Amino acid sequence: MFEIMIWAGAAISLIGLAGLIWSIMRVVRARREQLSDDELRSILQTVLPLNIGALFLSVIGLMLVVVGVMLG
């Protein structure tokens, strides 16, 4: 039971990490394109909710891993 919780938490955390890496790469790519301030701000406004969601997934996944380890 607890092993499933640990592995599920690790998978969720990896999905969140992938989302964080994607959002970082998207912003870096936008900065390299040297867009105008309005275009860059528009990209940042679309990436920010995804970044926060990915961070949330990573935290929830790590919490599942810690709880699984502590209980198991």
Domain residues for the domain of 8 are 2-71
pLDDT confidence of residue 72: 85
pTM for this entry: 0.85
- Statement: residue 1 has pLDDT above 90: no
Looking at the structure of the chain, the number of domains it has is 1
| Residues 50 and 23: beta-carbon distance below 8 Å | yes
Fill in the amino acid letter for 10: A
H-run or E-run covering 60: helix 37-71
Predicted confidence (pLDDT) per residue in 19-57, tens digit: 999 999 999 999 999 889 999 999 999 999 999 999 999
